[in-house]
Structure 1
């Protein structure tokens, strides 16, 4: 029997090696768990770099009216070889104007004296306007390349970052790159949807086309926008990007010398529906017609009567329950005795339930704690990640290694595998993630298998006549290897 189990474990380890090799292939693939329950995949393989590239080796596209040429991608470093994501929106205007349009639903002003764009004087929108979903964001620095007539080719960093969502949840993330001159300025935007991945300790991108459409719609509804069109930049093939970029043309700028009310003329503001779509504020107000107003609230007298009735109901229920226990002591005692001898009182069964419930709840609890800390200490993502990542990494190991007692190893393997798998899916559902890369799916499957092996090793440690720690430590090392894999190889 021992030899058979050893062969099975060898096959498990061999399968994990093959999965790790599969995740190491440099592909960009996604699995879409759509609303219809179907699964669709899209994959593109990035060509291997053949040494350092120069501006002559890449394709540049014209932006603006003065002949600037943009490399329509972003990069981790100031090099073409570290390409990350394609630019998918270009606005013929300054980043400050774009930020003001997105965050405040109104145009910025041009200060002729300082020759600069003046953003809104306050970070809060007027009370008569709906709050914008966009806010300032933090993220890793990314660069893009611009070839200009005056300074030649140069690498520029993002001017600002915006997002709609939460850092430790799911969000639409924008990086804005400004170029040109005050008379002919432009803004390149890299828009994508991502979510915080506890295994990678950074964000995983799931979509490019959806966020592009969201930004496009938000800008189309601004009164200062005169034209929105699609131009072929041929930078598709990554995730769901198709190579067509939204080009937005803004009208003449406002002057800061205009009256205050004119400089802040209101435009139709939109609200966000449950499906993530924007709609006009007038329609949103009409949809709230069924919402009780202040006049519909109960008066003090009626509220007091309701509270008194609630207290009386609790008292009657408590007294009735005690009376039932006293009058039917024999039946109640028989029920307690049956529970004592049922499976519910079995320590082994309780451990199975505890392991399953804990593994299901753990990813959701860690995510909830991160979102709560983010609201308490914003702009400190490293602190939040440093506090919670050890819990996420080592709590499943501790549970799977110490709880298994009795029953069969197969039961504990299945409990750990299914319990943690349901927890990871519940975590995705909590933050609204419906699309994940294929390599991430393969890695998570390997993690579930490793956790099941830890549960089996923990069971054998306490059930064997001669406990051995070597199998358990080997399984824990495999778990650590799988956690380190995304950090160092960037899957």
Structure 2
């Protein structure tokens, strides 16, 4: 008994060590090198010698009037709270860029901010555009612009667009407008992210893929006359390489061409070049469409459901055949054999219930959030506030209340594997294939803590004198692991 308890305690200590190790995992450096091989002056999020000023960062030229842009976004109006790099610049105002993205023939972008103005000369919505548009919310991010007229100033995003769901996975755009009416430009920060229930915010997984998606969408617009890459030296975060897509737009009248002309590429590029560029981005868009689009009922889906039902019926029939005599059907024998089989053991039933409940819990919370989002799309904080207590408390209740009998190691394994399967299935449901290593280590520590809770739950009901100290320690460990990503970051 003492050796078993020592093994469990060792696993808990291992989880704590891994948790502490997450603090030592180096974050992605923001330092990049420009085309001449020199190091840029953009440092990490915090400067060693105090807060940064405009003289400490690198600005890049945008537009024809000589405006200079800090090619990053920031949580606050400060260079020290850097978040993500700008990866697209379009020579046009945000309203026009919005019109090009929304009213393209295969537009799937959703608006996350209601503050926009219609670009009167752009193509109006048509019946062919099948894109549900609804208002949502997004955190404010800022960038810095140095202009010849007004000097340096911090600007907030003009609007936000997203392709996907807030509580699932999406491609998220923030648009920043600048310049004069006759020489306007729009800086875009594009990234893919997913809603993380442990962090209660979005986790960014890619920058390069969404950049290619927006490129593809704009390449198919007849008013786009040129798309090129320019070195902004703002790479080094996730998969950003420091090369920014610069899109040049022609006169707005080009977008009012007849429908048959919308299929023709712009004259500045050959049809082959434009088609090749769009094809390179198609896999990312196809993945986004399957991962981010709302679930639909198709013939294939119905066929899969029928196949599952058929397998279930065959399995039940096979089970019945095993317990049935060759000379005929004797339900009394079947019932008697089931009564004395492992399926009738309450310990086995509780083990299966614990595994299935923990495996299904992350998926149920995710599905409920997506369902609420479709009903109240503009109140994500309300939805998160309603579901987070379930996400945080339900695993503890299940792990403490269900274990009965068997050995503690078995319940540790059931809780560890069951919740681990649920977390992996949750990622698979929103098609998230890449997550930061520190998040993987944190989730491993969470699984260890949940396994320890299951062991405590089993001992609590098997022992004549329940150990409240062990239960309190296990619950405190769980609370610590939940608070870690919320307040200290992971």
Higher strand share: 1
Q: Check 1:66–1:274 CA distance in 2 against 1; reply closer, same or farther (3 A cut).
A: closer
Residue 21 (structure 1) aligns with: 20
Residue 49 (structure 1) aligns with: 47
Other structure's SS at 2:177 match: strand
Q: CA deviation at 1:254?
A: 3.6
Q: TM-score, normalised by structure 2?
A: 0.79
Q: CA deviation at 1:175?
A: 0.3
Are the counterparts in 1 of residues 365 and 387 from structure 2 also a CA contact under 8 Å?
Answer: yes
Q: 2:245 aligned with 1:246, yes or no? A: yes
Residue 488 (structure 1) aligns with: 487
Are the counterparts in 1 of residues 163 and 170 from structure 2 also a CA contact under 8 Å?
Answer: yes
Q: Check 1:90–1:157 CA distance in 2 against 1; reply closer, same or farther (3 A cut).
A: same
Residue 267 (structure 1) aligns with: 262
Which residues in structure 2 correspond to 1:225-304 (within 5 Å)? 225-254=224-253, 267-268=262-263, 276-277=284-285
Q: Check 1:447–1:368 CA distance in 2 against 1; reply closer, same or farther (3 A cut).
A: same
Q: Check 1:6–1:354 CA distance in 2 against 1; reply closer, same or farther (3 A cut).
A: closer
Residue 141 (structure 1) aligns with: 140
Residue 355 (structure 2) aligns with: 356
Other structure's SS at 2:487 match: helix
Q: Check 1:266–1:24 CA distance in 2 against 1; reply closer, same or farther (3 A cut).
A: farther
Residue 340 (structure 2) aligns with: 341
Task: Count the aligned residue pairs.
Answer: 417
Q: Check 1:360–1:121 CA distance in 2 against 1; reply closer, same or farther (3 A cut).
A: farther
Q: CA deviation at 1:472?
A: 1.2
Deviations 1:139-183 (A, max 9, x none): 100000111111111110000000000000000000000000001
Residue 447 (structure 1) aligns with: 446
Hey, what's the Cα distance between the residues in 2 that align with 1:489 and 1:61?
A: 33
Q: Check 1:122–1:217 CA distance in 2 against 1; reply closer, same or farther (3 A cut).
A: closer
Hey, what's the Cα distance between the residues in 1 that align with 2:442 and 2:96?
A: 42
Residue 176 (structure 1) aligns with: 175
Residue 298 (structure 1) aligns with: none
Q: CA deviation at 1:134?
A: 7.7
Hey, what's the Cα distance between the residues in 1 that align with 2:170 and 2:478?
A: 29
Q: Mark the runs of 5 or more structure 2 residues left unpaired by the alignment.
A: 30-42, 106-115, 265-277, 288-298, 300-319
Q: Check 1:73–1:330 CA distance in 2 against 1; reply closer, same or farther (3 A cut).
A: closer
Other structure's SS at 1:405 match: coil
Hey, what's the Cα distance between the residues in 2 that align with 1:23 and 1:482?
A: 12
Q: CA deviation at 1:275?
A: 5.4
Hey, what's the Cα distance between the residues in 2 that align with 1:226 and 1:122?
A: 15
Q: Mark the runs of 5 or more structure 1 residues left unpaired by the alignment.
A: 31-44, 107-115, 280-290, 292-320
Q: CA deviation at 1:49?
A: 2.1
Which residues in structure 2 correspond to 1:207-226 (within 5 Å)? 207-226=206-225
Q: CA deviation at 1:474?
A: 0.9
Residue 401 (structure 1) aligns with: 400
Q: CA deviation at 1:252?
A: 1.8
Deviations 1:413-456 (A, max 9, x none): 00000000000000011111111111110110000000000000
Pair member with larger Rg: 1
Q: Check 1:266–1:440 CA distance in 2 against 1; reply closer, same or farther (3 A cut).
A: farther
- Alpha-carbon RMSD across the aligned residues, in angstroms, is 3.1
